Amino acid sequence: MALFRDAYLIDTARLARPLEVALAAPAGDLIDALLDRVLLMGRSLHEVRQHTFALFAGERCGAFVVAPSEPFHDGIVASLRDLLADFGEVRTGADEPLDACGLCPLLAYEAGRVSFFDSPGTRRWLALAGRRGLRILGATLAHEPLVDLEIE
């Protein structure tokens, strides 16, 4: 049975730039603040609005990790770093391939339009996205395509 929603195929040959903060607050609080920040970026009049990236998120080694996909824009990375700094000390990791980062696709950002990726790893935050009226998408990764996804 095919998924009856728009789906994105994410090129996992791209790199991600991980930003980590110690997981002192519940992950839902971080996701809530993250959604607000990315939506605010989408309404910005500055150059940051015109970019396109996927945002990955998850927990790893006692830290919450947010990783935008390349091409990296200094304004986007700085905005995410500023947000995470509200929750603790932020560490920027070395760029790593998306297919090896072990994080879930969370958001698509296309020239200011923000969409939420619904997957088993992000489903616990689906209500947060729904309250903001975000478009809900399915995501499939180039290295691990969904078996029930039809691409027309």
pLDDT in tens, 113-136: 899 988 888 999 999 999 999 988
Residue 146 has pLDDT above 60, yes or no: no
Cβ neighbourhood burial of 62 (10 Å; 0-12, 13-18, 19+): exposed
Determine the pLDDT at residue 145: 53
Confidence of residue 7 (pLDDT cuts 50, 70, 90): low
Burial 89-118 (b: 16+ CB within 10 A, else e): ebeeeeeeebbebebbbbbbbeebebbbbb
Instruction: State how far the Cα of 18 lies from the Cα of 152, in Å rounded to an integer.
Output: 33
User: Looking at the domain assignment, is residue 132 inside a domain?
Assistant: yes
pLDDT in tens, 21-31: 987 777 888 99
Determine the pLDDT at residue 85: 94
Residue 52: partners with Cβ closer than 8 Å, 6 or more residues away: 109, 110, 111
* Residue bearing the bigger pLDDT, 18 or 8: 18
Crossing angle for the helix pair 27-42 and 74-85, to the nearest 10 degrees = 140
Determine the pLDDT at residue 95: 94
Q: How many domains does the chain have?
A: 1
Instruction: State how far the Cα of 104 lies from the Cα of 141, in Å rounded to an integer.
Output: 10
User: Looking at the domain assignment, is residue 145 inside a domain?
Assistant: no
User: Looking at the domain assignment, is residue 54 inside a domain?
Assistant: yes
Instruction: State how far the Cα of 75 lies from the Cα of 40, in Å rounded to an integer.
Output: 13
User: Looking at the domain assignment, is residue 67 inside a domain?
Assistant: yes
User: Looking at the domain assignment, is residue 57 inside a domain?
Assistant: yes
Determine the pLDDT at residue 148: 53
User: Looking at the domain assignment, is residue 84 inside a domain?
Assistant: yes
Structural domain that includes position 77: 7-140
Determine the pLDDT at residue 3: 45
User: Looking at the domain assignment, is residue 2 inside a domain?
Assistant: no
